[in-house]
Amino acid sequence: MPSATVENYLKSILKLSMECERGEVPMGMIATSLGVTPGTATSMMKNLQKEKWLSYKSRKGVRLTPSGKKIGMIMIRRHRLLETFLVETLGLDWSEIHEEAEVLEHAISEKVLERLDIFLGKPRHDPHGHPIPTKNGIIRRLPKKTLLDSLVGTKMKIESILDQSPEFLTFAQAKGLMPGRMVTLVKNEKVADTIELQVEKMPKFSLGYKTAQKILVSD
Amino acid sequence: MPSATVENYLKSILKLSMECERGEVPMGMIATSLGVTPGTATSMMKNLQKEKWLSYKSRKGVRLTPSGKKIGMIMIRRHRLLETFLVETLGLDWSEIHEEAEVLEHAISEKVLERLDIFLGKPRHDPHGHPIPTKNGIIRRLPKKTLLDSLVGTKMKIESILDQSPEFLTFAQAKGLMPGRMVTLVKNEKVADTIELQVEKMPKFSLGYKTAQKILVSD
DNA sequence: GTATAGTTTTTGATTAGTCAAAGTGTAGCA
DNA sequence: TGCTACACTTTGACTAATCAAAAACTATAC
Ligand SMILES: [Mn+2]
Ligand SMILES: [Mn+2]
Ligand SMILES: [Mn+2]
Ligand SMILES: [Mn+2]
């Protein structure tokens, strides 16, 4: 029923509302995240409210209704299952799958998706370590701990990569920064704004603070 | 570059021009085949001509240029490879894949398609027996012989099913009318407009003349 | 040769999604 | 308490794709 455009809006709004937990999602964030002008976002919010997918308070922001949340969650599921298929079955690189899935997610039917889920063995997370919601919209909470929050000398497991850009993903892969790998924080240079890392037996390397926050880990 | 709508138009026009070999494809056929009003087809033809995908002569019809033909052929390839994937890999029924592929064909990139082609072992025809064009747009010619053109008592191989409707495909499957099966024309009742058939060791059954022409065979 | 039926084209309108640019509201500083 | 900068909304315009209905052709059939 919703158009591909509407699907993208609802998915983005859901992701934003899960990230920055603060009630309403503001217009600016929505516009930026979808790459449209603020006016476009405003007028779209009115349409989405008319369809009962969210409630919109002028100059306050927007909050998804259960039906809007449901569509958003379905889109996240489609996206991540497709990414998994593209890497696991077709052997594409994890840096190039996001854009592919961004289009395919609007074309795949519920029926095909469920077959794909079975074919893939009901995976729990995509190649970037992002949790895949169940058919009923239940999604695992990601750990909040980033590489930056860890203590020097401790060994941690990489859970998830938050940056989807091909450039960063290619870099991360080269350094071994991938979900499942074990990483040790060798040094934390506060003054230089960097940390030094070692992934398993690979060579050490440095990461800026900002980048370090894009890697989620668990002990 | 072309929108999904344009892709559908070019694919349909190419298929029509291959079926009814008579120079130009008339407006009415295009409109019917795409399920739009004649006026819509006319105005779209002007746009497609502007983009150099075809040449349009008012009240004559339309003829694809090489670039239009190329896009059309790519769409046929995408459609048929996707149908093959949906049946071979995901196990969907051959009666339900046409509609799925009709949407997915606009969402799949060249890169993913070529991976899929390799994954499937470079199939030469789809589940309905339709030939899959190569990457360079070369397509096998279908036999022109239908069940109706065959002699009583001869055993023939089913090559292709021309009707895409789920109802007919479900019926055909139940009767064993599928590409690769051997079929014998038992009787030809001209006065009753029917033929009687036997597929391998399955029970005999009848088909109307019109329907019989939807099944392509070879000796 | 005209009348007519069937096709095709034209015209005018609609919808979804978008932008640019002008206008408005407000949070926080002075 | 008032000002200003920034966030947001409004307005007017545009494009792609479509339809309904009126108008214009054209191929026959008589
Ligand atoms: Mn998308
Ligand atoms: Mn991902
Ligand atoms: Mn299509
Ligand atoms: Mn087919």
Which pLDDT tens digit goes with each residue over B81-111? Answer: 999 999 999 999 999 999 999 999 999 999 9
> Span B192-201, mean pLDDT?
94
pLDDT (tens digit per residue) in B102-135? 999 999 999 999 999 999 999 999 999 999 999 9
Is residue B168 predicted with pLDDT exceeding 90?
Answer: yes
A100·B109 Cβ contact <8 A: yes
pLDDT score recorded for residue A109: 98
Per DSSP, the three-state class of B126 is coil
Nearest to A205, CA basis, from A214, A213, A215, A195: A195
B160 has which bridge partners? B216
Kindly provide the residue ranges of all beta strands, DSSP E only, lying in chain B, ordered along the sequence.
54-57, 61-64, 155-161, 182-189, 194-199, 205-208, 215-218
pTM above 0.85, yes or no: yes
Q: Is A87 on the interface with B (CB under 8 A)?
A: no
Lowest pLDDT segment from A7-16, A68-77, B206-215: B206-215
Is residue B22 predicted with pLDDT exceeding 80?
Answer: no
- Tell me which nucleotides of strand C come within 7 A of a protein CB: 7-12, 16-22, 25-26
Measured in angstroms, what separates residue B111's CA from nucleotide C29's C1'?
55
Per DSSP, the three-state class of B62 is strand
pLDDT (tens digit per residue) in A121-151? 999 999 999 999 999 999 999 888 999 998 9
Q: Is B89 on the interface with A (CB under 8 A)?
A: yes
For the purposes of burial, counting CB atoms within 10 Å of the CB of A18, is it exposed (0-12), middle (13-18) or buried (19 or more)? middle
Q: How big is the A-B interface in CB pairs under 8 Å? A: 44
pLDDT score recorded for residue B219: 86
pLDDT score recorded for residue A65: 98
pLDDT score recorded for residue B120: 98
Residue B52, min C-alpha distance to chain A (Å): 27
CA distance linking residue A113 with residue A120, whole number of Å: 10
Measured in angstroms, what separates residue A47's CA from nucleotide C17's C1'?
11
Ligand nearest to the CA of B105: 3
Work out whether the CA dihedral B64, B41, B43, A3 comes out positive or negative: negative
Q: Name residues 14-43 of chain B with a Cβ under 7 Å from nucleic strand C.
A: 26-29, 31, 38-39, 41-43
Q: Is A96 on the interface with B (CB under 8 A)?
A: yes
CA distance linking residue B207 with residue B211, whole number of Å: 6
A104·B107 Cβ contact <8 A: yes
CA distance linking residue B100 with residue B82, whole number of Å: 9
Closest nucleotide C1' to the C-alpha of B44: D17
What is the separation of C-alpha A40 from the centre of its chain, rounded to a whole number of angstroms? Answer: 24
- Structural domains in chain B, CATH included, are 4-64 (1.10.10.10), 75-140 (1.10.10.10), 147-218 (2.30.30.90)
Q: Specify whether the CB–CB gap between A95 and A170 falls below 8 A.
A: yes
Nearest to B75, CA basis, from B129, B167, B4: B4
pLDDT score recorded for residue A208: 94
Measured in angstroms, what separates residue A44's CA from nucleotide D11's C1'?
15
CA distance linking residue A141 with residue A121, whole number of Å: 21
A109·B103 Cβ contact <8 A: yes
Nearest to A208, CA basis, from A200, A197, A219, A218: A197
pLDDT score recorded for residue B20: 77
Helices B66-88 and B4-19, axial angle in degrees (round to 10): 100
Quick one: pLDDT band at residue B172, thresholds 50, 70, 90? very high
CA distance linking residue A95 with residue B143, whole number of Å: 44
Is residue A21 predicted with pLDDT exceeding 80?
Answer: no
pLDDT score recorded for residue B64: 98
pLDDT score recorded for residue A219: 86
Is residue A20 predicted with pLDDT exceeding 90?
Answer: no
| pLDDT more than 90, % of chain A | 95
B104·A108 Cβ contact <8 A: yes
pLDDT (tens digit per residue) in A194-214? 999 999 999 999 999 999 999
> Span A62-77, mean pLDDT?
98
Does nucleic acid strand C have an atom less than 7 angstroms from the CB of A139? no
* Buried residues in A37-72 as b, exposed as e (16+ CB within 10 A): eeeebbebbeebbeeebbbbeeeebbbbeeebbbbb
Quick one: pLDDT band at residue B165, thresholds 50, 70, 90? very high
Q: Is B110 on the interface with A (CB under 8 A)?
A: no
| pLDDT more than 90, % of chain B | 94
Q: Is B4 on the interface with A (CB under 8 A)?
A: no
Measured in angstroms, what separates residue B54's CA from nucleotide D23's C1'?
26
Distance from the alpha carbon of residue B177 to the mean position of ligand 3, in angstroms? 26
> Span B38-58, mean pLDDT?
98
